Amino acid sequence: MSSDLVSRGYLSTILSPSGEQWKKMRKILTSEVLSPARHHWLHGKRAQEADHLVHYVYSQCMNSVTAGLVNVRVIARHYCGNVIRKLIFNKRFFGEGREDGGPGAEEIEHINSLFTILKYLFSFCISDYVPCFRGLADLDGHEKIMRTALGIVVKYQDPLVDERIKKLANGCKKEEEDLLDVLITLKDSDGCPLLSPQEIKSQIVELMIATVDNPSNAVEWTLAEMLNKPEVLKKAVEELDRVVGREWLVQESDFIKLNYVKACVKEAFRLHPFAPFNPPHVSKKDTTVANYFIPKGSHVLLSRPGLGRNPGVWEDALEFKPERHLQNDSSSVASTDPNLRLLSFSIGRRGCPGVTLGTSITTMLMARLLQCFTWNLPPTLFMIDLRESEDDLILAQPLVALAEPRLSENLYTSSLSI
């Protein structure tokens, strides 16, 4: 999940919400959508998608065309997309998907559009700082790109919302099965719908874009670093074999004991954040933080790489060392850092209310890939190129690695409802 779920811009572009609307949305997210009880309620759907993930990667291993070469970026991003679609709509595909469980054209277009939105959501806009330019032509072209991407996303999502509202209204559907049902059936003190159809659609877009970025990016970077450091990869796999074994697949209940696996992912959050800055905030009054005086009205952004790679805080700051996150008291490794030495899901009042869901998605994706498959460099490479993209902080080239099944065949070929 992204660092501040309700700071995303889609609601403001559609609704121009007041402060009260923002509070209402955040309260709904915290108490009705992302609460511990709701997380437990949706466990089965997350477990189904974890099984589908294993099935799909296994099909890539058995594919004579790909010869076991797996595009980890595609796997990771579509897994995250499948999970949140399942939780919201109780379906993983908008279309029919593929026979091997992979994404179809609809899912590819949907996920690509979500990442386009993320890329341009906080891009520099001159009219934000020079108000007289507001209302003029799209000077930097970002608005057109965003509108196109948003149009694609809502093209797939909004009809499902409208259809579900009708089904619930005419009594064709009575039991709550997913988060869309929850959002539609919320009532205010007078027994009226708490959210309008447009608010529901807007909130779903926010949930979508807040779910797909951090987990997929962290896992891709983690595996890339591991392939260049086989000793780290070996240690993580040994932990999985020791804690879970090879007779059944890792489950969420195992996470508390997978400290080294979680430390590897946390190290990727530190060293390779998806976004260069946290969502922008504005200071309401003059204040001083450490040695910095921040005047009222200042736009405040924290540099994620600046924090995570700070040599004054981290020893060997540019080295991938998961052990730095392991505690001497053997307590469970958390994705967040209370001292803000790194930003993963943020903390405090402005922290991401979806930290539990985001952590579950990330850890399951990493753990299933490591437990179920042996990962090696492609035959043509001696090491993975860890350069960042020129435009952002993701890997310059998608990670492609050689995967081989390492468990009993029946764990991959069990019946799945694609």
Residue 13 to residues 108, 113, 147, 272, 357, Cα–Cα distance (Å):
25, 17, 10, 30, 26
| Cα Rg, the chain, nearest whole Å | 22
User: Mean per-residue pLDDT for 358-371?
Assistant: 97
Residues 364, 362: Cα–Cα separation, whole Å? 6
Structure tokens at 88: 């919201």
Residue 304 pLDDT greater than 60, yes or no: yes
Instruction: Between 7 and 364, name the one with better pLDDT.
Output: 364
What confidence score (pLDDT) does residue 30 get?
87
Residue 24 to residues 6, 50, 119, 184, 244, Cα–Cα distance (Å):
11, 32, 27, 15, 41
Q: What are the binding residues for heme?
A: 352
Whether 121 maps to a domain, the answer reads: yes
What confidence score (pLDDT) does residue 354 get?
74
Q: What are the binding residues?
A: 352
The stretches of 128-196 forming alpha helices (DSSP H) are: 142-169, 179-185
What confidence score (pLDDT) does residue 416 get?
53
Whether 418 maps to a domain, the answer reads: no
What confidence score (pLDDT) does residue 2 get?
40
Model confidence pLDDT, tens digit, residues 240-260: 999 999 999 999 999 999 999
Whether 310 maps to a domain, the answer reads: yes
Residue 5 pLDDT greater than 50, yes or no: no
Whether 63 maps to a domain, the answer reads: yes
Q: Which domain holds residue 47?
A: 5-413
Confidence of residue 346 (pLDDT cuts 50, 70, 90): low
Whether 378 maps to a domain, the answer reads: yes
What confidence score (pLDDT) does residue 339 get?
75
Confidence of residue 238 (pLDDT cuts 50, 70, 90): very high
Confidence of residue 142 (pLDDT cuts 50, 70, 90): confident
Residues 6, 9: Cα–Cα separation, whole Å? 8
Residue 9 pLDDT greater than 70, yes or no: no
| DSSP-based three-state secondary structure for 196 | coil
Whether 229 maps to a domain, the answer reads: yes
The domain tally of the chain equals: 1
Q: pTM for the complete prediction?
A: 0.91
What confidence score (pLDDT) does residue 140 get?
76
Residue 14 pLDDT greater than 60, yes or no: no
CATH classification at residue 49: 1.10.630.10
Confidence of residue 18 (pLDDT cuts 50, 70, 90): low
Whether 19 maps to a domain, the answer reads: yes
Confidence of residue 8 (pLDDT cuts 50, 70, 90): very low
Whether 315 maps to a domain, the answer reads: yes
Tell me the average pLDDT of the chain: 88
Residues 200, 72: Cα–Cα separation, whole Å? 32
What confidence score (pLDDT) does residue 237 get?
98
